[in-house]
Chains A and B, each alone.
Chain A
Amino acid sequence: MLRHLFFGKENPDETLTSDDILGKEVIDPEGGFLGVVEKIHIDAKTVDITAFSVDKGFLKKGLLIGKGYVERITPHAVFLRIRPVLNMRGMKVFDYEGRKVGTVKQVVLRGRKNRLKHLVIVSGVLRKERIIPPELIKFVGENIFLNQKKGDVLKQGRGS
């Protein structure tokens, strides 16, 4: 049996252990499974949790998610309050009328926040790269809808 030594008013019954978190599924607000919690990152000075490393699977790049993006931790999963913008990679991009414009090759963030700076998409047989700024994006679901027609997007889209 563990003896508890707490400083202050912490209630041991309301705390979680690393066992409660490591290996748990990480789920976004849409119910999408992002991976499992691989590591917990702690600030050495304040001893506060700062972030979680997410293992997305074999041969996939991991994800580091700041604790500010975590909505709640339950006995079975870690729920996020955001859909990681980086998951847009690989999504198909359609124009306003459903014509395919391209596929997302790269997602460029603003700094390290979950905010999109622009997308780099490849389109056509020659897989020409184009930059899509966030202002052109109408909706992001399973794929991406733009708010303009394909012809207009390709005219104003510039190469990366």
Chain B
Amino acid sequence: MAIEEVRESSLPLERTFSLRSLLGARVLSKNGKVIGKVANVNIDRKTMKVQGLVIMCSPLFKRIYIDQRYFERMTPESVVLSIEPSVLLRGKKVITYDGQALGKVRDVVRVDHSNTIRALTVKPLFRGEFSIAIKDIRLIGTSVILRENYHAPASVFWKRKSG
């Protein structure tokens, strides 16, 4: 049965899709990583516009909230983000410019709640964690690669006992 529309100058019905179809939609990062699925759609009470999405991240079933400013494209089947969510950097390997593994990302220090990274907390194996400022990071890709002139704390590296 056709739906009767009551609207003024807003989009016609066929150019919209329902929120219900968005629930469970796949969420992809800018890099094509499958982040998870849409668990909830959050709406601004005053403007009545979609403000963000709560995403159930696979495989750990952790939930994150992404502001609509970070949406690139949206269809009933999927949402593509314009960012790599920095909160998902946890667990990535951190290596020096020379390829030496320092540890894994334990935590991400951001500027307020934005996606801008201020620093990373790195946890080496069987050693205490330490912080790396964003200025010391050369590249964040499959791993985090540090700049050539970065010197990790000496306590990070295993040393043989002398004698």
Contact = CB atoms under 8 A, between A and B. Distances in A.
A99 B78 contact: yes
What's the interface size class on B, roughly? Answer: 20 to 34
Nearest to B73: A97
Contact of B78 (A27, A28, A94, A139): A94
Contact of B75 (A25, A78, A97): A97
A52 interface: no
Nearest to A73: B99
Given A32-B141, A32-B142, A98-B75, A145 B32 contact: yes
Interface string B140-158: 0111110000000000000
- A contact face: mostly helix, strand, loop, or mixed: loop
A29 interface: yes
B142 A30 contact: yes
Given A25-B99, A31-B95, A31-B142, A143 B73 contact: no
Interface in A31-61: 31-33
Contacts of A145: 32
Interface residues of A, number: 30
A29 B97 CA distance: 11
Nearest to A149: B75
B98 A76 contact: yes
Contact of A142 (B26, B32, B79, B98): B32
A27 B32 contact: no
Nearest to B92: A31
CB-CB nearest 4 A-B residue pairs: A77-B99, A31-B143, A98-B78, A30-B141
23 contacts: A27-B143, A29-B139, A30-B139, A31-B139, A31-B141, A31-B143, A32-B141, A32-B142, A32-B143, A33-B143, A75-B100, A76-B96, A76-B101, A77-B99, A79-B99, A97-B77, A98-B28, A98-B75, A98-B78, A98-B79, A100-B26, A139-B32, A143-B31
Interface of A: 24-25, 27-33, 74-79, 91-92, 94, 96-100, 139-145
